[in-house]
Amino acid sequence: MNLTIFDYGAGNLHSLIKTLERPGICVQVERDPAVAVTTDALVLPGVGAFPAATTALGEQGVALMRDAILGGLPTLGICLGMQLLFDASDEGGGSGLQIIAGRVNRLVAARVPQIGWNQLEPGVNRDPLLDASELGIAYFANSFVCRPSDPSVVSAWSTHEQDRFPAMVRVGRCTGVQFHPEKSSTAGVSFMHAWLREVHP
């Protein structure tokens, strides 16, 4: 299986690459969105800011990636990558991929960013990836969170101070997580491997 990580050009992807590398899976990093979507599975990593990411995509790249994901390309968005799945962000940067209706807002809390471990609370539609990995606590590093128009897309929630926000969303073959599974110890790695098994049995 060919798996592509789209690179916004904003950070070190080493830990993510190491987590995804497995026998039978070829992991590549790509900065051209037109090339990035010609793959078996796509990862939108959690490094950088919304405006820089949408600039790296460009209008044409946003359209190409949106069409590919809506067309069934298995996609995992991590932290910023999850936020890009939404319509737009208060951080700026124009339109997101518009896969999930809603907006990205700043955390309503005294301590921002949220950095560290936080509990996951299963949503009404509990995701089998959480059961497969037994992931109940995960590592977060974020100042912004997603506010979906339809809460039924939320597979898990988390709360920072008094602000409850989606920790995981799922629409079709597209999954978004606000946490960093690649930094969430053994259970986080198990989550990533469960996702790989799902997209490439």
**What amino acid positions are annotated as catalytic residues?**
79, 180, 182
Distance CA 75, CA 103 (A): 19
Which of these, 35, 36, 48, 38, lies nearest to 9 by C-alpha position? 48
Distance CA 15, CA 137 (A): 19
Residue labelled with tokens 């799902």 = 198
The token pair that represents 6 in the structure block: 């789209």
Q: Residue 186: which H helix or E strand, with range?
A: helix 185-199
Contact 141, 113 (CB under 8 A): yes
Distance CA 60, CA 24 (A): 31
